[in-house]
Amino acid sequence: MATSLNRPVAECLIVSANQVVTPYPVYPLGAACLVTALREAGHRASHFDLLADGGHPALALLLAGGRFDLVGVSIRNLDSVDSAAHEEYLAAIATTVDLIRAHSDAPLVLGGPAFSIMPGELMDLLGADFGVVGEGEELLPWLAGELAAGRPPLERIFRARPLAGLWQPSTLSASTADYYLRHGGMLNVQTKRGCPYACQYCSYPQIEGRTLRFREPAAVAEEVNRLRDQCGARYIFFADSFFNDSQGHYLEVAEALIRHGNTLPWCAFFRPQGLPPEALRLLQRAGLAAMELGTDAACDRTLAGIGKSFTFAEVLEVHRQVVAAGLACAHFVMFGGPDENAETLSEGLANLDRLEQCVVFAFAGIRILPGTGIHARALADGVIAADTSLLTPQFYFSPQVSQEEVTGAIRRAFAGRLDRIYPCHEFSQRIIDLHKIGCVGPLWDLILKKRTRR
Ligand code: B12
């Protein structure tokens, strides 16, 4: 079909293939952005969410009843990235792709954060027609137009340029939002994209690019109000790679939330550096209820080993300010990474003891993702070989310490403490149970019995 301007209009279906429910089901924000972008470009776009919309039988019916120019599959997670609770998700995604192929002959396009980490491998594994690495808002509508016009591109994998302008998520169907609200009461919002840091293990710059791009603070605050008033959100997670940017955009967002009368509690990932008391006070007035701190390693040597540009003394200082402000916080720390040895292990665990009135989530080993510094380090240290496939999860453990030593030391140090979590999947099960009885938010903060605005 064509519009009056003779631009081809494509009939598109975006399938959110994620079926992971730990630590809780996460609303498919990326798919929401794509549906908006496709519609704004004049295409017709619908969305199917495997968790919320009835699973494979309902998807099969939808595909059989429609005629699509393009079916996009959003791939969020490869695996649980946790050596203590090893779960792989690709087999389930392959089953979904097979089902789509069985019920539709539309070109199949892959995208999403997990796809962007291993595009070539996933194209081959899943046998897709096209793939988009990075943000889909520009490339997907263009590709849809080309396909509807009968001009399928010769190239198979496209790499998005980081979007300079605004991106705008819509809310997917009310029933989709309702599913997520029934499982945790939380919806998610992005205030910026990109990550300029060079943490050795991290794939975020591959997915979002290195350049920070900010959304208008007022647009963020309006979206939060819309999610509360129109969708019934009771808690917000800001899904930025990290919230507290050095340019101070996060403070403008906080001011906008206050100006727009935000009443929802919220949580975000924070980098444990900077964050003076006046910033924390402002964030608290804006509704900040729980801070997830990307501390990542527990002593200076291992912090440097994973490319962090802060010291443990800076972590302690931020921690002191956060606790003094009465804010709930959790530190996320990995052991067994580059330069870990028996000495750093005991130094790191002793350092964690200095983090009082908080929750610590610990992980053993680091999932090796292609293109990251840890991948090069793992090759150099002989942890993996050049031809080791990373589709099957591989974890980096420093050659100076065994996996058993690492896990044994964490278990001994955390024994008998409710606020020290290892392995983390055991806590995830508790979160699921608490969400079932109507509790909202990330819920680790309940351990601390802090006063929140919930
Ligand atoms: C915020 C976040 C969380 C929060 C979510 C909180 C919340 N309420 O929203 C929490 C902490 C709960 C979380 C949990 C987990 N997470 Co997480 N998370 C993220 C993070 C930082 C942002 C995701 C996001 O919302 N992005 C914003 C949206 C708008 O972008 P997007 O989804 O990428 O979509 C864009 C593009 O990808 C593309 N796109 C998306 N779909 C499609 C489809 C098509 C067809 C096309 C063309 C394009 C396209 O266009 C979209 C718009 O630009 C990413 C890392 C990152 N920077 O991407 C990790 C990330 C997605 N998480 C990851 C993982 C592993 C997990 C967990 C499995 C970890 C665990 N064991 O607990 C769980 C799974 C949770 C679940 N139920 O699914 C991995 C996934 C890849 C992998 N390594 O397997 C990532 C990439 C981080 C990493 N380690 O590399 N996560």
Mean pLDDT score, 343-347: 98
The minimum-distance atom of ligand 1 relative to the CA of 188 is 9
What CA–CA distance (Å, rounded) separates 34 from 137? 6
Of 22-31, 160-169, 250-259, give the lowest mean pLDDT range: 160-169
pLDDT in tens, 94-111: 999 999 999 999 999 999
H or E segment to which residue 220 belongs: helix 217-229
Ligand 1 center–CA 402 separation, angstroms: 30
Q: Pick the residue whose CA is nearest to atom 67 on ligand 1.
A: 80
How many other C-beta atoms are found inside a 10 Å radius of the C-beta of residue 346? 13
Give the per-residue pLDDT at 6.
61
pLDDT category of residue 3 using cuts at 50, 70 and 90 = very low
Mean pLDDT score, 329-348: 98
Is 90 exceeded by the pLDDT of residue 148? yes
Closest CA to 284 of 318, 313, 251, 330: 251
Ligand 1 center–CA 242 separation, angstroms: 13
3-state secondary structure 311-338: CHHHHHHHHHHHHHCCCEEEEEEEECCC
What CA–CA distance (Å, rounded) separates 18 from 36? 20
What CA–CA distance (Å, rounded) separates 149 from 127? 23
Mean pLDDT score, 342-359: 97
Pocket of ligand 1 (CB under 6 A): 18, 20-23, 25-26, 29-31, 33-34, 72-74, 76-82, 109-114, 116-117, 132, 135-137, 140, 186, 188, 190, 203-204, 207-208, 237, 239, 241
Give the per-residue pLDDT at 415.
95
Give the per-residue pLDDT at 167.
72
pLDDT in tens, 21-69: 999 999 999 999 999 999 999 999 999 999 999 999 999 999 999 999 9
Give the per-residue pLDDT at 175.
85
What CA–CA distance (Å, rounded) separates 169 from 192? 13
Is 50 exceeded by the pLDDT of residue 313? yes
Give the per-residue pLDDT at 169.
74
Is 80 exceeded by the pLDDT of residue 2? no
Give the per-residue pLDDT at 449.
67
- Percentage of the chain modeled with pLDDT above 90: 87
Is 90 exceeded by the pLDDT of residue 453? no
Closest CA to 314 of 305, 322, 325: 322
What CA–CA distance (Å, rounded) separates 20 from 30? 16
Q: Which CATH superfamily is 11-159 part of?
A: Cobalamin-binding domain (3.40.50.280)
Pocket test for ligand 1, best of 36, 38, 108, 207 (most atoms within 8 A of CB): 207
Ligand 1 center–CA 2 separation, angstroms: 35
Give the per-residue pLDDT at 450.
44
Mean pLDDT score, 236-248: 97
Give the per-residue pLDDT at 4.
43
Angle between helices 217-229 and 249-259 (to 10 degrees): 50
pLDDT in tens, 376-416: 999 999 999 999 999 999 999 999 999 999 999 999 999 99
Is 90 exceeded by the pLDDT of residue 162? no
> Which CATH fold topology does 184-448 show?
TIM Barrel (3.20.20)
Ligand 1 center–CA 112 separation, angstroms: 8
HSE (side-chain half, CA atoms, 13 Å) at 398? 22
Give the distance, in angstroms, between the CA of residue 349 and the centroid of all CA atoms in the same chain. 27
Mean pLDDT score, 158-166: 85
The answer to whether the CB of 16 falls within 8 A of the CB of 50 is: yes
- Kindly state the tokens that stand for 437: 């009885």
Q: Pick the residue whose CA is nearest to atom 3 on ligand 1.
A: 239
- Give the residue extent of every domain in the chain: 11-159, 184-448
